[in-house]
Amino acid sequence: MNQFNTLYHLIFVVKIKNIMKLAILGNGLTSLSLAKSLVNKGIFVDIFSNQKKIDINKNRTIGLSKKNIDFFNREILNIKKFSWDIKKIEIYSENLQSEKILNFENKSRVLFSMIKNFDLQTELFSKLIKNKLCNFKKILSYKNSNLNKYNLVINCDSRNQITKKFFSKKLKKDYDSFAHTTIIKHKKIKNNVASQIFTQKGPLAFLPLSETETSIVYSARGEKNIDLKKIVTKYNSKYEIVLFEKLASFKLKSVNLRSYFHGNILAFGDLLHRIHPLAGQGFNMNIRDINILCELINFRKDNGLELDRSICNDFEKKTKHKNYLFSSGIDFIYEFFNLESKINNNILSKSVRIIGKNKFLIKSFEEIANNGL
């Protein structure tokens, strides 16, 4: 009887192993976060990438909403040690002589937390490389890669051959803008208030990282080569700047994929939806997607069902309309302030200032930024 039990258990484990094998394509932030959440559930994951080592820009940062930070800490990895809490957000408009038009503050909780991409990606990588359920595989071509043997393939890489072959149909918008980023080092200051100024050329954000460091994101219409130091100096009234870290620029576009999957391959992360960074929501959307995908996987695991391609369909049904609506909302905010610059009038900023006095609306905006739609 005992032998029978052991044999039965062995067959069961082998079956589970077969059932629960997933491939993730790409080794960026979304891929690694998703991989970590899956291995935490006891699922085997192979991570495919064409890069020898992970290529990380050390000066990129992301702001994560309170709800997503809580989810990350609980389901993926505890990131408290390298996140910096923001308790207040102030929005200004250059068209109103840089007057404050909106103010977000919640006395009972932090609004969001800032993280350096490098810290997050390095920590995720170092945890995954030691995990027996996870394998990193270098791949140059997917032609003979045998991806069919996986129950599910999750593609987070917008540059590979699979993306070019199956995920090229998308709604695209070119903002004719670049996001210019750097980190400023400054004299020590109490630094928990983020601010964003809608300048004539686009939004300039000051995003605190610590008492002595603040991330700068300037999304401006026009050419790639600008004097970011001069612009930051012009609008900065708070920091005694000691040093500017290396500057980097990224072309800005928004993308919404028309179809989320092909067979058992699910497109994921920025490949599904890329948005303007003015509200700092791109990676937040990816985390919400991870949460939904994990719920679908949990449901199947708990009910003894296979992890098969039906997950792709269910995921698309649950997320596509919300993601599209959310992306459109971000685009609307961009166009709103863009229009004001074009018509050279401050009527729109004035109306935002009036809206900003309505506590119910401010609370609703906060909730959407925290939870998504």
Residue 49 or residue 236: which is nearer to ligand FAD going by CB? 49
Residue 152 or residue 348: which is nearer to ligand FAD going by CB? 152
Site mask for ligand FAD (CB under 6 A), range 140-179, x = bound = ----------------xxxx-------------------x
> d(Cα 260, Cα 319) in Å, to the nearest integer?
10
Binds ligand FAD by CB under 6 A, chosen from 208, 277, 316, 327: 277
Binds ligand FAD by CB under 6 A, chosen from 29, 39, 102, 267: 29
State which H helix or E strand residue 261 sits in: strand 261-262
| Tokens, residue 89 | 């957000």
Total interface residues for ligand FAD by CB under 6 A? 28
> d(Cα 267, Cα 34) in Å, to the nearest integer?
13
Site mask for ligand FAD (CB under 6 A), range 71-100, x = bound = ------------------------------
Residue 267 or residue 311: which is nearer to ligand FAD going by CB? 267
Sequence-distant (6+) residues with CB within 8 A of 146 are: none
Residue 231 to residues 82, 93, 193, 226, Cα–Cα distance (Å): 28, 15, 20, 9
Closest distance of CB 185 from ligand FAD, Å: 19
Residue 207 or residue 348: which is nearer to ligand FAD going by CB? 207
Closest distance of CB 217 from ligand FAD, Å: 5
Task: Name the residue type at position 199.
Answer: T
| Burial label, 368 (beta-carbon count in 10 A; 0-12, 13-18, 19+) | middle
Looking at beta carbons, which residue is closest to ligand FAD? 28
Q: What is the dihedral of CA 350, 100, 104, 186, to 10 degrees?
A: 150
Does position 202 interact with ligand FAD (CB under 6 A)? The reply is no
Site mask for ligand FAD (CB under 6 A), range 44-63, x = bound = -----x-x---x------xx
> d(Cα 45, Cα 23) in Å, to the nearest integer?
6
| Burial label, 96 (beta-carbon count in 10 A; 0-12, 13-18, 19+) | middle
Comparing CA positions, the residue from 300, 291, 363, 304 lying closest to residue 74 is: 291
- The stretch near ligand FAD (CB under 6 A) out of 25-33, 124-132, 314-322, 334-342 is 25-33
Residue 19 or residue 235: which is nearer to ligand FAD going by CB? 235
3-class secondary structure, 154: strand
Binds ligand FAD by CB under 6 A, chosen from 281, 319, 327, 349: 281
Binds ligand FAD by CB under 6 A, chosen from 46, 123, 213, 270: 270
Closest distance of CB 179 from ligand FAD, Å: 4
| Residue the block writes with tokens 């992890």 | 307
> d(Cα 132, Cα 362) in Å, to the nearest integer?
46
Could you say which residues in the range 301-340 bind ligand FAD, by CB under 6 A? none
The residues binding ligand FAD (CB under 6 A) are 26-31, 49, 51, 55, 62-63, 156-159, 179, 181, 217, 250, 269-270, 277, 280-284, 286
